[in-house]
Structure 1
Amino acid sequence: MKKYLLLLTGLFLAFTPPAREPISKEMAAAVTAFIKTFDEEQRKLALYPFNDNERYVWYYTPVPRKGLSMKKMNPDQQKAAMALVKLAMSEQGYEKTTAIMDMENVLRVQENRPPNDTHRDPINYFFTFFGEPNSKEPWGWRLNGHHLLWQFSSLTGKVSGMTPTFLGSNPDIVRVDVPQKGKQILKKEAELGLALVNSLNSDQLTMALISETSPQEIFTTNVRKASIEKMEGIPFPKLTESQQKTFLALLDTYLNNYHVTLKNQQMDKLKKVGLDKLVFAWAGDRQPGFGPGKGQYYRIHGPTLLIEYDNAQNQANHTHTVVRDLTSDFGEDVLAEHYKSQH
């Protein structure tokens, strides 16, 4: 176990950006200032009690949503909204978020829609706030739209909930003749997953391979409580040292999307349960070998964390990824402790 922690420490020191100021007070101040700019109609759209069931409702398909759309914000409010997004995540996470929103412009062209089409619209993304920021009562906010979900919860003055998180891209690689041609937003997620599965020997692959057919969708979809019945795959200790580095680089690719404080909170959970409890599972066509252009699915699964990656739709050019905290999606574990102490 000590060897794993040393490996983890060395790798994450290399990948982790310099720490910023603690996020809780900054986020509370930014949300408070943002909400003050809302008129009455905007408040009705954007604000919900923290205990409203709407907090658990999210979609990654282009469907109607509740909340305040960026389309219904003035330019200054749109800037404030994106400043809040930038505050909550790393530079990498912010770049992926804005690129996913911009992918709606690609889909307009790819689907031959007119320039004023609203079904594919880069500002058709919704901000929703649950409760109002304070240090004693729970509150939170989310950003949700096509292929995008960021969900944050603050309990007793500390931002402790940062999942579910969903990032997707259609197309995965832009091939139509547009300024974004060649763009692949989730490139590292794809390349590191393939690098890991292709490094496995036959005995290791027997453990890792759960199916020779990739599913058409992530298993957990958008359910309130994520659960996969069996923890299948190759355990972390069964990987070579080189493979463990690839595994951790893949894990880091997902966690590095968050503000460093939130990333470190998730890493602390992983360290407590132990890296040896994590498994890597793969599903996909391996004839003659795993590679781009074929359906691919993998997951990283442990007692506290589930990460899923799927690229099978649209001839394996449509990617979905999700991060679920199995102990505290929507901040549920800290919330339960808060209500228990209040009682």
Structure 2
Amino acid sequence: MEILVSLVLKPAESEREREKEREMECLFRRSSSFGKMKLDPSPYPPQKRCLSRNAAFSYQKFIQFALEETQLHTQLIPSPLQEHYRHLKAIDGKTKLQTLAFQSSKIRLYRGLIIEGDNAMQVLDFALFPEPEYDVPIFCASFFTASNTNVVVLDLNPLHDVIDTEDYKAKYYKNLMPLGQKYAELLPWGSKITGESLGFFSPIVIWSKFCSDQHLHDILFAAFKEYFKAWLQLMDQAKVETNASQLHRNCEAQHKYLIWRAEKDPGHQLLKKLLGESLAQDLVWNFLFNGVNTLGSKSFLDYFPEYRCVDGSISKKRSIIGKSFENRPWDAKGNFIGANIR
């Protein structure tokens, strides 16, 4: 499926700026699904709260911002996954699915999926995974929008524990807590979340549910931009890891994250409806959470034995420990104030 959109660039004021524009145009052309993206730079007009439709709202601008911002920090190279998954077509013949996939010297996989369907239904699943030589968090933006409903998760998912240990949390989140608090107040906690899922979130996670509202969409876009800039700065500052045991630890941590998401991500049911079970399974395991088959050899049950059924299969339940958190379990300093997740 070819998506024809056009990128609006500001007039160049110097040869250097013109060169940057040419590089950006080339980059967009090489990404088949987001090849020529058009974005109206004017601010959205004010609208009434709790819109009944989201026709004017699009996640395309989120991806455009991310691509442009990333180009200021590193050179993106199209991933082979881009070509493989560029022609996704929904069974209903109407819903549009768009993908992009890149990589760079520090980024193992930079991938995104946008779904646009009937009744103002839109999905953005966007993530950036560092190379194992870096223990930088995983950038995660998972947004679902329907005619009057929004469910969003925005986070720098920790590669290592931030609930029971302090080192990793202090390294990556201490200076970001004011940013997290700012948006925690603007986009309130989205009610109950399982203890298992919480283990993959950071103290600055935005987990929210809200009615379709232009003002809140603007806040979400602002949060996305600030979180993405923060993640790029962390990547810029990251030092390559040469210790073999730490490299193994990074690989296993990312592998555990990927296999959990591939097995338990709630968006799988929508993909099965749109693409059929076989193609949806392929997209989830080999595109969205690529690395399950290359970063480690452990199985889901090796990491999460509590999910083993009597017959040896994996339980379909989202939660086994049965514990959920209705309120934000971190304080303003990033201290975990919820009861033990287990």
* TM-score normalised by structure 1 residue count: 0.29
Q: Which has the higher strand share?
A: 1
Q: Which has the higher helix share?
A: 1
User: Greater relative contact order (Cα 8 A, min sep 6): structure 1 or 2?
Assistant: 1
